[in-house]
Structure 1
Amino acid sequence: MAAPSDKAFPVSWDQFHRDARALAWRLAGAGPFEAIVCITRGGLVPAAIVARELGIRLIETVCVASYHDYHEQGSLQVLKDVAPSIRAIGDGRGRGVLVLDDLTDTGKTAQVVRAMLPDAHFATVYAKPAGRPLIDTFVTEVSQDTWIYFPWDMGLSYQAPIQPGTSG
């Protein structure tokens, strides 16, 4: 994805919590899942919410760095692979494992993790068209040129109106 555009989608903590719970509702019939693998860092928050809602206690991380400057998606780097104990679940290919992230953008991160766990169920809270084919379950689709501002990346500040000159 290119640098943030004028199409901004700011997500509050309340909204993200509601969306993550909606994801859990959709996932409730897709399991059972023995474990969650969250893609860090964005997958940490939805993993906590989904794990609570679905009663999943085994949570693992896979650490993939892609947005090195918060604006441009660069080359992918696996910082931490999935634990062998997770790979051993089910058929050894991820069956029974739920992989979670906050967003699929280009799908590059999902491709890397799907190669590790090809039979896992992949879910994100938000999906963009380029990454959507790699995801099994998501809640909200946004356009490819929309930049999502997650609550953990923001402070409270003024937001300019969409149409200039309409404030106040």
Structure 2
Amino acid sequence: MRAAVFHLLAGCLCLLRTASEESPLPRELLERLSRSDIRSISDLQRLLEIDSVENEVMEETRPGHHEDFTDLKREALPAVCKVRTAIYEIPRSQVDPTSANFILWPPCVEVKRCTGCCNTGNMRCQAARKHHRTVKVAKVEYVRRRPKLREVQVKLEDHLECLCTNKRHISPKSDTDNGIR
């Protein structure tokens, strides 16, 4: 749990640093966010002293698990081409390309992506099928010296199936090509 909170705060601090370079967010807001333990939109709402959010509050994320490193003499297993969980940092331009005077929470989400190695160097691991989904994120703007919290929709892409293809020949099929919605 502590590791998840640490990663969340590190992400917030990184985002706050970026936000402070791009636009003049009030220093008080940046300092308050950087010193806080934010685990949900409700926590963010309480921190900013905002009474309501435009939509229903999102589910809280679940903490990750830790691996046991007691047996270090195991044989190496190949990292084959397959779908794995990856971290996707939501670009601020994807939420609002016209303004830099806001922060996002959460700044990063989990997506499913094709990763791993193929048999030779001239092959690459690539998505054979993709699926698009929409999630809600919190957008905090500072309007007239007051924080304004809104939920916005962000479109994410998950990979469903992977295959090894020649690096020169790339033709992934999307979820709409395969009738998946």
* TM-score class normalised by the smaller sequence: under 0.3
Larger RCO (CA under 8 A, 6+ residues apart): 1
Which protein shows a greater Rg? 2
More helix by share: 1
**Larger fraction in strand:** 2
